[in-house]
Structure 1
Amino acid sequence: MGDDMPEPVIMTMAAVLATKAATSAFGGLVRWVKEQLSPEARAALEAAVEAPEDEVRVGELSRELERAEQANPEFGRELRERYDRAKVEIHADGGSVVSHISGDVSGKAVQARDVHGGINL
């Protein structure tokens, strides 16, 4: 993609990492990302977390994440998988119901929160 404008997904991930770093779902992801990054990229992450409303800092984090992903596609794949799992966890907070079905699945699925009685399929 180049240095001009990071991929939109990376930009979204950077913004979420910066703003949700203190949450339980994303805190673990932020720690993992820090362990994977170069010192320069780690500094960009820390700066974005300190000021998540600063578009320049979040933009720099986006560029660093994209560089890291280009240098190590395995990091990029793992980042996207962990990010998707963290999104599911954050949506499940507060007693809501979240279903996440992936892979080769067939048959019926039921999503429910409070069931009083039986379920017949």
Structure 2
Amino acid sequence: MTPDELAMAVAAAVATMGTEAAVASGGRAVGALVRLVRERLGRRRGDEEALEDAIEHPDDQQRIVALAEALLSAMADDPALADRLREILPADATPAADGGNHFSGRASTVVQARDIHGGVNL
């Protein structure tokens, strides 16, 4: 995984699961990831704001990209950070080569699909 891909995967994972990780004890890997990112970006002026914005607005791609850019900058300053992020990034947080599906949150019914040909009735 390239540094750009790592930064985007971490930014997306933190943004989409960051709020849940703060309240749920089950997502230990995500919680560790959020804590590490919060600790490292909290040391950098403006980067903590990018983190908070991404967590508050996980569907805003521009905010995810801003967080990824902050992470890239932090990784450039501290190459060991990239290694640590790779270690604790949950495997299901990395996008699959074919696009993959990801659901995070609470719902009574979730349907994920790919290449549907024809109608779908629920």
Match of 1:36 in 2: 40
Instruction: Note if 1:64 corresponds to 2:70.
Output: yes
- Whose Rg is larger? 1
CA separation in 2, counterparts of 1:9 and 1:76? 8
Match of 1:87 in 2: 91
State the 4+ residue runs in structure 1 displaced beyond 3 angstroms: none
Query: AA paired with 1:71?
Result: D
Give the fraction of aligned pairs with identical amino acids, expressed as a percent. 35
Q: Report the alpha carbon displacement of residue 32 of structure 1 after superposing the two structures with TM.
A: 1.8
Unpaired segments ≥5 residues, structure 1: 1-5, 89-121
On the 8 A contact 2:33/2:88 being kept in 1, the answer is yes
* Relative contact order higher in (CA < 8 Å, ≥ 6 apart): 2
CA separation in 1, counterparts of 2:9 and 2:81? 17
CA separation in 2, counterparts of 1:28 and 1:47? 19
Instruction: Note if 1:15 corresponds to 2:12.
Output: yes
- Superposed CA deviations along residues 52-87 of structure 1, whole A, max 9, x for unmatched, are 00011001001000010011101111111111xx33
Q: What do you get for the CA RMSD once the two structures are aligned?
A: 1.7
2:59 match: secondary structure: coil
Match of 1:78 in 2: 84
On the 8 A contact 2:14/2:34 being kept in 1, the answer is yes
Instruction: Give the TM-score normalised by the residue count of structure 2.
Output: 0.59
